[in-house]
Amino acid sequence: MPEKACKLCRRIVKGNICPACKTTELSKNWKGILVVVDPESEIAKVAGIAAPGRYAVKVK
Ligand SMILES: [Zn+2]
């Protein structure tokens, strides 16, 4: 199954539900992977990401 990205938080999700948002609003149409190890880092702050994980750069 191809990985999908959550339309709300952009987290890359395996399966049909986002573990963070508990939403099924997932998109197969996403681009780029942003890996956040430290949510306190500048890149995570700029991207608006508050939890470690893998995120899509763009979700349509
Ligand atoms: Zn989400």
Domain ranges of the chain: 4-59
According to the CATH classification, is domain 4-59 in 3.30.420.10? Answer: no
How far away, in angstroms, is 56 Cα from ligand 1 center? 11
pLDDT tens across the length of the chain (60 residues): 689 999 999 999 999 999 999 999 999 999 999 999 999 999 899 989 999 999 999 999
pLDDT for res 24:
97
pLDDT for res 1:
67
pLDDT for res 2:
83
Paired tokens of 38: 């430290």
pLDDT for res 49:
93
How far away, in angstroms, is 12 Cα from ligand 1 center? 8
Please enumerate in sequence order all residues whose Cβ is within 8 A of that of 27, keeping only pairs 6 or more positions apart, or say none: 4, 5, 6, 7, 59, 60
Paired tokens of 22: 């508990």
How far away, in angstroms, is 7 Cα from ligand 1 center? 7
Question: How many CB atoms within 10 Å of residue 33?
Answer: 12
How far away, in angstroms, is 19 Cα from ligand 1 center? 7
